[in-house]
Amino acid sequence: MTVALDAADAPVSSVADRPESDEALSHRARKKLATRNAIHEAAFDLVMTVGLAHTTVERISERAGIAPRTFWGYFSSKEDAVINRDPEGPSKLAAAFLLRPRDEEPLTSLQVILDEYLAAKMADSEKFLLRQRLFREVPALLGAVAAARDEMERSLVFAVAERLGVDSAVDLRPGVFVASAWGACRVAQQRWVESSGHEDLRTLTADAFRTLADGVVHLTQKKNIGTTEKAHKGI
């Protein structure tokens, strides 16, 4: 519990010791985001122009108008700068999942948060499509995307396990739910890229999750088929 102090009891502090105002924090956050975006845009433009091999941290920094040492405060590699890897992305997704109603089906919660995640990424659909094609064409970038996705998947697995009240190291369900959800998103996204963005990605994603849900229901109803029959047959 927080206790308010009387004015007479309040410790005297210097301006430097006082907490920053919400406005100051907001300004600093906006400035950091602007710098981060500038680095990402510079990296992406360079890769599109000269290729990944000729894109260096020094060239990215020069184009973004920052010192090279500043680059390392935002990204751990040029590949991460190109894909705009957010170190807080995994925890943000996990937090978004845990904010969903606790009695909501895990797949439904995952669909909602991943749909919102993709919608944010698609603010500029033409550029998003261009990025997806670039990532598929450059193995090093595809590897960076896979690594970032793996971090987000693991964070979501822990969140699903917390929702279900289970240990993800023992119970397979959290991992299966998350892997299935990401798989549905990837299938929808691949279809969208192949259509050159003519199909609606959110509709494709919803269809993919509907297909997934139908399959899960079907498998749940027939969960004993296979192992049980084999056991009876002595296989």
Asked whether the beta carbons of 51 and 78 are under 8 A apart, the reply is: no
On whether the CB atoms of residues 54 and 31 are closer than 8 A, the answer is: no
Structural contact between residues 135 and 83, judged by C-beta atoms closer than 8 angstroms: yes
**Boundary of a domain, candidates 39, 68, 83:** 83
Measuring CA to CA, which residue among 122, 146, 124 is closest to residue 201?
122
Are the C-beta atoms of residues 162 and 102 closer than 8 Å to each other? no
pTM: 0.74
Q: How far apart are CA 105 and CA 210, in angstroms?
A: 13
Task: Looking at the structure, tell me whether residues 145 and 193 fall in a common domain.
Answer: yes
Number of domains within the chain: 2
Cα(59)–Cα(46) distance, integer angstroms = 8
**Same domain for 181 and 93?**
yes
| Dihedral-angle region of residue 5 (phi above 0 means left; psi in -120 to 50 means alpha; beta otherwise) | beta
One domain, residues 57 and 163: no
Domain, as residue range, for 67 = 26-83
- Domain-embedded: residue 168: yes
Residue 57: how many CB atoms within 10 A of its CB?
17
The DSSP 8-state label assigned to residue 166 in this structure reads -
Distances (CA, A) of 118 to 82, 188, 202: 17, 11, 8
CA–CA gap between residue 174 and residue 161 (Å, rounded) = 5
Helix H or strand E segment including 90: helix 89-98
| Residue 207 and residue 170 share a domain | yes
What pLDDT, on a 0 to 100 scale, did the predictor assign at position 30?
87
- The answer to the question of residue 120 being in a domain is yes
Sites in the chain below the pLDDT cut of 50: 1-20, 219-235
* 174 vs 107: CA distance, rounded Å: 10
pLDDT of residue 114: 92
Other CB atoms within a 10 A radius of the CB of residue 128 amount to 18
Q: Are 118 and 201 in contact (CB under 8 A)?
A: yes
Does residue 191 sit within a domain? yes
In a shared domain, residues 70 and 145: no
